[in-house]
Amino acid sequence: MPQTPHMDRRLHEAILKGEVPAFHGLIQENEHIINQTIPGSLSTILHLASRFGHVELAKEIVKLRPELVFEVNETLETPLHEACREGKMEMVKFLVETDPWLVYKVNQDNESALIVACERGKLDVVDYLLNFQKLLMLELDGFTTSLHVAAAGGHTDIVKLILKARPEFSGKKDVQGCTPLHLCCKKGHLEVTRELLRFDSDLSSLQDNDGRTPLHWAAIKGRVNIIDEILSTSLESAELITKHGETVLHLGVKNNQYEAVKYLTEMLNITKLVDKPDNDGNTVLHLATAGKLSTMVIYLLKLGADVNAINRRGQTALDVVESDVSNSGALLILPALHDAGGRRSDQLPPSSLELQLIEQEKSLPSSSPKRMPEYTTKHHRRSQHRRREKQLELQTEGLRNARNTITVVAVLIATVTFAAGINPPGGFRQETGESIMGRHTSFKVFVVCNIVALFLSLGIVVFLVSIVPFQRKSMMKLLAVTHKVMWLSTSFMAAAYIAAMWATLPHRPGRGMKWVFVAIVAIGGGCTMAIFVGLGVMLAKHWLRKWEWRRRKEKRKNESPTSSVSRVEELGMMRKGSHDSSNSDVDSSDKGGYHLY
């Protein structure tokens, strides 16, 4: 018969109150009213009566429509599921006696009435349903058992009943590989944990699909009382690691469970786990700094954690925290790491780096891939890259300073030559304003050299102010041009000074001033030439270094990529900075620390 879409209000009230006479009166008015369902649901009136435990009313409904016993709602649950969930024992017995096959019916989540009762902790219902042994046998073919559900809910008495009926359920794993002990440790149910460990202490060593033991889950959730219970039964689980090489300390630190980590380190002799790396080479200190857990970092440093341990990415704890200093926690971590002697990986000697990576390789489980050479190479490349970045930064800063210096020198030359031009040597004639020394050859040389020096220096200033380079090569070309012009301007200014001095010195015989002046000029000129010669030699050496560097670079490009190079040679090449680069000035001048232009 077709069901009406909504339940009559009077019928709904009669079912809720369990009024059998009122129900019969409504049936006499309309016999089809019994097929109505709850609005917004497919639950029948028998579902509703079972939920509230109205057994007499349920019996009348079943007399009129026996098929309603197997009717399911929108979640595929029968009236028995409703009765078990609410712990209505009399109703459960009535429905099961009506049709025992109801016990094996499951909802859309593959949950039987037994599992529903375990979830709600209905002890009497569970005790009754455990008499159906075939029901428990069906759970053996699945993953989640009634013991999983009872343990996760913390229902100790139900756990005891199921263990007595089916002891093999204790070690059965669900889809994630978790045993009942995993679930109760995760939820923090101490009494259930004790019961399961008392039943079988070896359960503490079972691992889920990720290799996590019950102790690992207790550390993840910060269940200190559970940790204490497990370790008081067995210490072996404290040494077990996950498939990612994580220890119980790794998991506690990663999830910021400070109290759990503190308990583990204070109550147990597992200090060797503090510096134990996972499969990525991260120690607990790496994880704490990555999570900006300042309290955890300070505590681990007090324990004596290796502050300069290297992970598989070639990073120390200081490298990790400096990669992101936007978090306020980094402001507390940085001083603590520095005070403990923390360094960046590029500040550590290569020998110690290789030693740490070898120790990491030995600590990996046998099933882990051996990637020692690759990570050693990556670390040295990272260190070399950082060193080169620092060199480029210093070079860029030096170029900016050189540009500013040339500008200042050019302005000074312009100022001096301008002042000398309007105040020429020998002075002016008061009557005409003409230079007194204007007819002398030395004065004419002074005027020419002074004017050239003035306008060359002004040209340098205008040139540097007008052009703003934003690439290194452009800056180098700009400075190379202005540098040469500046030397030319300086030379003309020096020549103007010599000419002015020659013009103003007395030339009368017997004074000897001319020869003194010549001697001074010769000494000054000799010193200047010595400077020029020295700079020329340095420039020549710089060009030779660049040529040698480019030759080696070209030779490495032409080498076969499959040619065999020993590990020692490879490390030696990396230490010497033999890597591809587009900045020949920096790379070829690595040892000298400077280059010329």
Rounded-to-integer distance, Cα 318 and Cα 333, Å: 9
What SS3 string covers 248-278? HHHHHHHCCCHHHHHHHHHHCCCHHHCCCCC
Would the pLDDT of 378 be above 60? no
Q: Hey, what are 69's tokens? A: 């016993």
Confidence of residue 9 (pLDDT cuts 50, 70, 90): confident
Residue 367: per-residue pLDDT? 52
Confidence of residue 520 (pLDDT cuts 50, 70, 90): low
For 307-319, how does the pLDDT look when each residue is reduced to its tens digit (9 = 90+)? Answer: 999 988 888 999 8
What is the topology classification, in CATH, of domain 1-142? 1.25.40
**What number is the average pLDDT over the span 320-344?**
82
Rounded-to-integer distance, Cα 8 and Cα 147, Å: 41
Lowest mean pLDDT among 43-47, 284-288, 359-363, 416-420: 359-363
Residue 372: per-residue pLDDT? 45
Residue 239: per-residue pLDDT? 86
pTM above 0.75, yes or no: no
Residue 359: per-residue pLDDT? 62
Would the pLDDT of 339 be above 50? yes
Residue 517: per-residue pLDDT? 59
**What number is the average pLDDT over the span 20-34?**
89
Largest CA distance in the chain: 154
Residue 3: per-residue pLDDT? 44
Rounded-to-integer distance, Cα 386 and Cα 392, Å: 10
Phi, psi angle pair for 143, to nearest 5°: -110, -65
Confidence of residue 87 (pLDDT cuts 50, 70, 90): very high
Q: Domain spans of the chain?
A: 1-142, 376-554+564-588
Q: Which candidate, 544, 568, 574, places its Cα nearest to that of 556?
A: 574
Residue 560: per-residue pLDDT? 46
For 53-67, how does the pLDDT look when each residue is reduced to its tens digit (9 = 90+)? Answer: 999 999 999 999 999
Would the pLDDT of 267 be above 50? yes
Confidence of residue 152 (pLDDT cuts 50, 70, 90): very high
Q: What is the mean pLDDT of the chain?
A: 81
For 561-589, how does the pLDDT look when each residue is reduced to its tens digit (9 = 90+)? Answer: 444 334 334 434 443 443 444 455 555 45
Residue 421: per-residue pLDDT? 81
Lowest mean pLDDT among 339-343, 454-458, 526-530, 564-568: 564-568
End-to-end CA distance of the chain: 100
Residue 352: per-residue pLDDT? 55
Within 323-371, where are the H helices?
A: 329-339, 350-363
Q: Which candidate, 302, 260, 308, 259, places its Cα nearest to that of 286?
A: 308
**What number is the average pLDDT over the span 360-385?**
54
Q: Which candidate, 276, 346, 344, places its Cα nearest to that of 308?
A: 344
Please state, in angstroms and as integers, the Cα–Cα distance from residue 158 to each residue in 82, 136, 169, 360, following that order. 19, 14, 13, 46
Lowest mean pLDDT among 156-160, 169-173, 593-597: 593-597
Would the pLDDT of 377 be above 60? no
**What number is the average pLDDT over the span 152-169?**
94
